[in-house]
Amino acid sequence: MASGLVISVDGMGGDHAPDAVLDGIEIAARKSPGARFLIHGPAGRLTPMLETRPAAKAASEVRNAEKFVSMEVKPSQALRQGKGTSMWNALVSVEEGEAQACVSAGNTGALMAMAMMRLRRMEGVHRPALIASWPTAKGFAAVLDVGANVEADASQLVEFAIMGEAFHRAVRGSKRPTVGLLNVGSEDQKGHEEIRSAARLIREADLDLEFHGFVEGDDISKGTVDVVVTDGFTGNIAIKTAEGTARLVAGFLREALTGGPLARVGALLALPALRKLKERMDPRTVNGAVFLGLNGIVVKSHGGTDGEGYAAAIDVAIRMAKSHYREEVVANLARLSVASTLPPQAAAPGMS
Amino acid sequence: MASGLVISVDGMGGDHAPDAVLDGIEIAARKSPGARFLIHGPAGRLTPMLETRPAAKAASEVRNAEKFVSMEVKPSQALRQGKGTSMWNALVSVEEGEAQACVSAGNTGALMAMAMMRLRRMEGVHRPALIASWPTAKGFAAVLDVGANVEADASQLVEFAIMGEAFHRAVRGSKRPTVGLLNVGSEDQKGHEEIRSAARLIREADLDLEFHGFVEGDDISKGTVDVVVTDGFTGNIAIKTAEGTARLVAGFLREALTGGPLARVGALLALPALRKLKERMDPRTVNGAVFLGLNGIVVKSHGGTDGEGYAAAIDVAIRMAKSHYREEVVANLARLSVASTLPPQAAAPGMS
């Protein structure tokens, strides 16, 4: 394999694997001609499938792995029995430095457990977190944690802020992403103690990031900030609630526009516009959640996505791999640890 | 004032008070001819305004209150200085049995604090909760707590389930509302310990309610259950996230349909259908959050609503006042307290 950018792929993860995975690689390979791919999975099955996907074939190497992780298996079980599966081997390629990032559309719990075991936590990070992209009125926000943990204390929320900010810069190219803490009000005295402490900690630690303060649920879609920080329980509820709401509104719209002959003619005339709307709301464009805080980049694609969606997840992996994400996180974590070793009166002058 | 159904109204609460309040009473009085209204506020200002609102005039009595609670004041301040305001007096009408329910579009924190002080908690309820209606693919769901508390332990979540179930029956007329606990997965081992304990408690207490188990964020809009139970922090984030998402999609749709001449003609033809869609998503139809768990019914209207929206909040108050809400909650709370006094092996046979 040539030197340069290498992405390791779990060829058998996801509801439509391996077809959707290989379709995704075909699209990604055309879009990013410099990238190469290590595809883990049953070579006897995958290699012939590359014949109809010339760009993928030219950019890939298939690594044989006969076993794969099923969507139903529990994380603990996956850890015990997962060795040698396509998912496991895809992670090992990153662990051993053969690839800079790994993409899988497989079982989320299994992927997180295996990634933790093989790649381990970055120094200074206490809890890895899952970050997802979210379409907003202004572009895209990143929201974390969306489900890696069910709880987060103040210092973990601060770590999420640091990792999320670097992620947004890496993937969206924004120079100074703004960061907000998700809360039930924007006033200082609102919400849980952990969130209020996290806000104080960020302000006092002199981190190199643009902290906006608290944001509320409706601020996410407004695009009030680029990075929304919350615990994994709240983040998971928020993102799924938004998905459900978007689907509900789309369903209402469909019903309205097919409800009578005049509406149908109107919809027909407006079809190109409605297609553009659909594109804008397309979950595939925001596919690719990243498991942040490990010694290596792990991207989780939605299990039910197609080639286009899978290519978007690969694109996230490529952007992360090309960025200075790791260095930026390390630098900000160092600032944080300096702040937390200062005597309290220096760190919190208001309280002395 | 004649006997029968009486609703006490804070005439000066909300961004568009007193106009929107009186418009709301006018609409409600036409819709519910049996109901009477006590309007608290400056009589010199309100009484002349009733001249143009004949139905409201015929059904109402103005109770003079020169002071009112501003939208900016903090709950603690409102408690100290609130006596004699239109909001305070509206609550006192319920406390003294003159009215069966109270409606205000004023400062939420102040209303909750004053309502707690004047009406006090129902026996057996540890934490009152704010419940809101939510449009779904199947009709309407009720979600609580949406912000009265930032935390809830297992037994408080069970109380929310009991109150929410009785609320849904009272306001939506469903015979056996289904109840779900909001979580990050539907499997038994998912989520916080409090939520898992609450699920066990509901199953073991033999409550007279249809418990569905855990639901996820996207289940709310799907209408998977009629009543969604969660802590006030998560509920507030969920409802605001959904509002933000619905607004984003509506904004995208507007942009798409005004983006070109063909789309504009199409939108014009589909206008009646789009109007119906707008109606379906109209936040005014779900206006009227109820502060549950007090000795009296307190309905919080959205502060920015108009007459139509205010009338919807009054309608919620009327439905609650006419229902057996209180008796049902008392009966189920009694079942709960029996269950919690049983020895653990009897309450949790699986653990003996």
Question: What is the arithmetic mean of pLDDT over A31-39?
Answer: 96
Per DSSP, the three-state class of A3 is coil
Nearest chain A Cα to B146, which residue?
A184
Local confidence band at B2 (pLDDT 50, 70, 90 cut-offs): very low
* pLDDT surpasses 90 at B177: yes
Local confidence band at A323 (pLDDT 50, 70, 90 cut-offs): very high
* Residue B294: both structure tokens together: 């007090």
Better pLDDT: A260 or B328: B328
Cα(A218)–Cα(B235) distance, rounded to whole angstroms?
13
- C-alpha distances (whole Å) from A29 to each of A5, A34, A265, A318, B37 are 12, 8, 40, 11, 70
Cα(B24)–Cα(B284) distance, rounded to whole angstroms?
11
| Residue range B135-176, pLDDT digits in tens | 999 999 999 999 888 889 999 999 999 999 999 999 998 899
Q: Is the dihedral of CA B28, B33, B38, B39 positive or negative?
A: positive
| Residue range A37-89, pLDDT digits in tens | 999 999 999 999 999 999 999 999 999 999 999 988 999 999 999 999 999 99
Peptide bond into A23 cis (omega under 30): no
Q: What is the mean pLDDT of chain B?
A: 90
- Nearest Cα of chain A lies from the Cα of B336 at a distance, in angstroms, of 27
* pLDDT surpasses 70 at A339: no
Contact B237 A184 (CB under 8 A): yes
Quick check: A119 and A94 in contact, CB under 8 A? yes
The predicted pLDDT at position A196 comes to 93
Cα(B115)–Cα(B78) distance, rounded to whole angstroms?
11
Cα(A272)–Cα(B250) distance, rounded to whole angstroms?
17
* pLDDT surpasses 90 at A3: no
Closest CA to A272 of B225, B93, B257: B257
Helices (H), B258-270: 261-269
Side-chain-side CA neighbours of residue A252 (13 Å): 26
ipTM of the shown complex? 0.88
Cα(B16)–Cα(A195) distance, rounded to whole angstroms?
34
The predicted pLDDT at position A340 comes to 66
Better pLDDT: A151 or A56: A56
Cα(B228)–Cα(B347) distance, rounded to whole angstroms?
24
* pLDDT surpasses 90 at A338: no
Quick check: B223 and B138 in contact, CB under 8 A? yes
- Phi, psi angles (nearest 5°) of residue B213: 105, -150
Report the range of poorest mean pLDDT among A70-79, A128-137, A282-291.
A282-291
Quick check: B102 and B94 in contact, CB under 8 A? yes
Question: What is the arithmetic mean of pLDDT over B283-307?
Answer: 91
* pLDDT surpasses 90 at B352: no
Percent of chain A with pLDDT over 70: 95
> Residue B53 contacts by C-beta under 8 Å, 6 or more apart in sequence?
B22, B23, B25, B26
Report the range of poorest mean pLDDT among A227-231, A335-339, A347-351, B10-14.
A347-351
Number of H helices, E strands in chain A: 15, 11
Cα(B71)–Cα(A312) distance, rounded to whole angstroms?
46
DSSP designation for B333 = H
- Nearest Cα of chain A lies from the Cα of B6 at a distance, in angstroms, of 34
| Residue range B224-281, pLDDT digits in tens | 999 999 999 999 999 999 999 988 888 888 888 787 888 888 777 777 777 877 777 7
User: CB contact, 8 Å: A1 with chain B?
Assistant: no
> Residue B27 contacts by C-beta under 8 Å, 6 or more apart in sequence?
B307, B308, B310, B311
* pLDDT surpasses 80 at A238: yes
| Residue A232 CB neighbour total at 10 angstroms | 22
Better pLDDT: A280 or A331: A331
* Residue A274: both structure tokens together: 């409605």
The predicted pLDDT at position B279 comes to 77
Nearest chain B Cα to A243, which residue?
B218
Provide the residue count of chain A.
352
The predicted pLDDT at position A342 comes to 54
The predicted pLDDT at position B340 comes to 65
Cα(A149)–Cα(A129) distance, rounded to whole angstroms?
7
| Residue range B8-21, pLDDT digits in tens | 999 999 999 999 99
* pLDDT surpasses 70 at A349: no
The predicted pLDDT at position A183 comes to 95
Local confidence band at A274 (pLDDT 50, 70, 90 cut-offs): confident
Cα(B94)–Cα(B102) distance, rounded to whole angstroms?
7
Cβ-based contacts of B273 with chain A (< 8 Å)? 256-257, 259-260, 262-263, 266
Cα(A55)–Cα(B156) distance, rounded to whole angstroms?
58
pTM of the model: 0.89
Cα(A213)–Cα(B266) distance, rounded to whole angstroms?
43
Q: What is the mean pLDDT of chain A?
A: 90
DSSP H or E stretch at residue A49: helix A43-49
Cβ-based contacts of B184 with chain A (< 8 Å)? 147, 150, 232-233, 236-237
Q: Is B123 exposed, middle or buried (0-12, 13-18, 19+ CB in 10 A)?
A: exposed
| Residue range B16-41, pLDDT digits in tens | 999 999 999 999 999 999 999 999 99
Report the range of poorest mean pLDDT among A1-5, A40-44, A142-146.
A1-5
Nearest chain A Cα to B182, which residue?
A237
Q: Tell me the count of A-B CB pairs closer than 8 A.
A: 195
Beta bridge partners of A39: A9, A62
The predicted pLDDT at position B339 comes to 66
* pLDDT surpasses 50 at A344: no
Cβ-based contacts of B265 with chain A (< 8 Å)? 266, 269
* pLDDT surpasses 50 at A204: yes
Among A182, A249, A256, beta carbon nearest to B276 = A256
Question: What is the arithmetic mean of pLDDT over B300-316?
Answer: 94
Q: Which amino acid is at A156?
A: Q
* Residue B100: both structure tokens together: 């069966």
Closest CA to B66 of B38, B45, B93, B48: B45
Question: What is the arithmetic mean of pLDDT over B308-326?
Answer: 94
* pLDDT surpasses 60 at A194: yes
